[in-house]
Chains A and B, each alone.
Chain A
Amino acid sequence: MEQNLTKKKKSAFKLTDTLILVIALLALCIFFTAINKSFFSYDNISILLKNMVITGILALGLTPLMIARGLDISFGASISFTGVFMAFLYDKGLPLLLVLIIGVILATLIGLLNGWLIETFELIPIILTLGMLSILSALGYVISGAKSLSMLTDPLYYFATRTFLKIPISIFLLIIFIIIYWFILTFTKVGRIIYLIGANPKAAMLSGIKVKNVRIYLYTFMGSVAGIASIVLIAMTGVGNPLAGTKMALPVLSAVVLGGISLAGGAGSVWGTIVGVLIVSVIFNGLSVINVPSYFIQMFQGIALILIVSLYEIRNKRAARR
């Protein structure tokens, strides 16, 4: 009896944590709709969701990596670089499918390089991936001559514009990602290993888990996710743009952190991340709908990120003191 009680208490507590975020999300939606009814129109919601796809899959890719105490901020630059590279190859006449495969492989190798360097030389992830970000941005400029390269194809256009049951097709890609990541983190041994590493890397290593290898896989996989995000971006914009990824780090990291993943690792879940992505997307979209200038939106995003991190930190301190 007592066992059941403590168990229930714990799960209830967890629920309220995500619940607060869901309530915040609903409050935001009501707020924006109150100011401008068109926020809740089919057109706007479908734009909102479509814009959420890229942020969403990147945030999902970061989720296991950050739970295992890794971090990658180079994904934006990787998206720009592989995007430009794919457009460049397509322009040279390579078949579309081959171009896309090369793009994903390239991004995957970038992820592998990130992971290998960080784990082999025990580097601080944010510094290494900052360096990688800088290198990839420069390479993107070199290949493109600092211009957007167009890459209009029927299949990608179809993917970006068609709907199924009035739902944009690209949303299904995000849903597939959600299911895969949720399944891996909740039900598989790999998922458990990720949480074990996040909770205490040294103890995980001394339990015979190959911590470094697992993390290298996670960085590599994050690379692949960036490659896929790059394809989605080309589909939506029709160009490989050397600047496309530069502004992605902020909303993605905000979403992940908002969803409850701490930079200290060990905590977080797919659902938290998804709610985080929703909130970030709603704020961005909602502020646009009520005609807030874009530079202010960027400022709000920055403020929101700092606020979130501070609130979590205050809460953790409180919990520790109690």
Chain B
Amino acid sequence: MNNEKNNFILQMKHISKNFPGVKALDDVSFDLKKGEILGLLGENGAGKSTLIKILSGDYSLEEGEIYINGEKKIFNNPSESLKAGIRVIYQELNTFEALTVTENIFAGELIKNKFGIVNWSKMTKKAKEIINNLGSNINPNEYMENLSVGGKQLIEIAKAIRKKATILVMDEPTSALSEKDVLNLYSVIKKLKSEGVSIIYITHRIEEIFEVTDRVVVLRDSKKVGEVLTQNTNKSELVNMIVGRKLSEQYKKQDIKKGKIIFEVKNLSYLDKVKNVSFEAREGEIVAFFGLLGSGTHTLFSVLFGDKKKTSGEIFIEGKKIEISHPFKAKLNKIGYIPYDRKEEGVALSLSIKQNITATNLEEIGKGFVLDKKIEDQHAKKWFDKLKIKAPSLNTLLNSLSGGNQQKVVVAKWLERNSRIILMSEPTRGIDIGSKAEIYEIAEDLCKQGAVVLIVSGELPEILSISDRVIVMKDGKISGEFITEKTSQEELMHCATA
């Protein structure tokens, strides 16, 4: 015991957690040394989030023990976990957008003088100190809403440091970052490590494991399936541990015959976010759109689907000009849309799988205005089986599904509608490797049947492995177009930034 006390800042022993009908964690143990960066890998639904929520006090501990510096702890609520020096930075950042950087860093614990008046100069000075120490020069008086996602994340880290966090948990910190911000983050993490902060780094991206971590713990199906030193392992070993089956490392694209042009966009503009965008797409083609944050790729898709009204330009489907004033119009023209923000825009979390799937196609679920629940079951079942959605039944609520399965439901909504032009905004964001490959397969299947798939993605390896053509955007304009086979990550990145 004494020996361990010196070595490990955190030990989680034999942790199990049950939810109604599901074992979310099954006898998971791991430990964390001072100044160590531990990678936590696993598919969605493998138990990573549950493990972290037990550590953060969001979930109560049912079985197992937690030791901090060798001392047994029980966290009844998040504030007790915070007190023990544990700080979680979630994928969705919890920042106060309308407040300044300083106010965010000191949120809830402003520095006051003896009269109870806030001492702004001292606080700003301290905020600046912390930020500079993290290697950044963000102005402490800047408003949060004006920062990039990477900047906001850095401020959350700064807040954690200010609160003297000794264990920092980062839940997929790079999922919304540009490549430059990712590199910044890596250097911040290394800096923290050198100062003795221990970090649990949760990710789906195996490459990142090799960039930052010292050791990796892999979870699968609620159990720990592996624990290795990063230097002693390699990518394919980790992939095998994660999925438990052999999966070719990179998805290999099939050759699909291209047909006639069915989708054409001419001089499309939206305010100053999208400027004079023109392109066309053929049957059976997968066209990827790449750009950094603010390049207009996501906005372009919103405009194409009628969520935002274009300010000028024309859209043609099979040569016929169409006006898309509302997503309803887009739907009628056989356009489908998988939005960037799955939880906010893609699914109704409190409703069931079948209710979500048929949401786009109620017209065909029974005659007249009465809903035919038998037909609904048939329709939903078809996609439930075909897309291999993992859930106890069609009536399972969306909020109990993993990200990957939720995304399949969103895809099913548009398959149900028989859509021929599918817009996918970061379709594999925050989902596991297995589901990713399945989403790619679905995209290819659609193409084989003569559909067009347009994908916005920030992941260059993904773009290179699945698309036929890449359109790069910068500042709302198209800055380049490439045949996927004849281009490289470097060329695309250069085009997006230069």
Which residues of A pack against B, CB within 8 Å?
2-3, 5-7, 9-10, 187-193, 195-196, 199-200, 202-210, 266-267, 321-322
Contact = CB atoms under 8 A, between A and B. Distances in A.
B346 interface: yes
B226 interface: no
B328 interface: yes
Closest 4 A/B residue pairs (Cβ): A208-B331, A199-B348, A207-B359, A200-B348
Contacts of B346: 203, 206
12 contacts: A3-B393, A6-B20, A196-B359, A199-B349, A202-B344, A203-B345, A203-B348, A205-B307, A206-B327, A207-B359, A207-B413, A267-B350
Interface in B176-222: none
Nearest to B22: A6
Interface of B: 20-21, 58-60, 305, 307, 326-328, 330-332, 337, 339, 344-351, 355, 358-360, 362-363, 365-366, 369-371, 392-393, 395-396, 413
Contacts of A203: 344-348, 359
Nearest to A10: B395
Contacts of A266: 348, 350
A199 B347 CA distance: 9
A7 B371 contact: no
B17 to A, nearest CB: 11
A204 B396 CA distance: 19
A321 to B, nearest CB: 7
A192 B305 contact: no
Task: Output the residue of B20, B326, B348, B392 with the most chain A CB within 10 A.
Answer: B348
B305 A188 contact: no
A210 B326 contact: yes
A196 B348 contact: yes
Nearest to A191: B371
Contacts of A206: 305, 307, 327, 337, 339, 345-346
B305 A195 contact: no
A254 to B, nearest CB: 24
Contacts of B20: 6, 9
Contacts of A193: 362
A188 B337 contact: no
Given A187-B371, A208-B326, A208-B331, 16 more contacts: A2-B392, A7-B392, A7-B395, A10-B395, A189-B371, A190-B369, A195-B355, A196-B355, A199-B348, A199-B349, A202-B344, A202-B345, A204-B348, A206-B305, A208-B332, A209-B359
A190 B20 CA distance: 32
Contacts of B21: 2, 5-6, 9
Contacts of B344: 200, 202-203
A192 B371 contact: yes
Contacts of A6: 20-21, 392-393, 396
Contacts of B305: 206
A200 B347 contact: yes
A8 B55 CA distance: 32
B345 A188 contact: no
A133 to B, nearest CB: 31
A199 B349 CA distance: 7
B365 A189 contact: yes
Nearest to B373: A187
Contacts of B358: 192
A209 B306 CA distance: 12
Contact of B393 (A7, A205, A208): A7
A202 B189 CA distance: 36
A195 B351 CA distance: 8
Given A6-B21, A6-B393, A9-B20, A208 B345 contact: no
A192 B352 CA distance: 12
Contacts of A199: 348-351
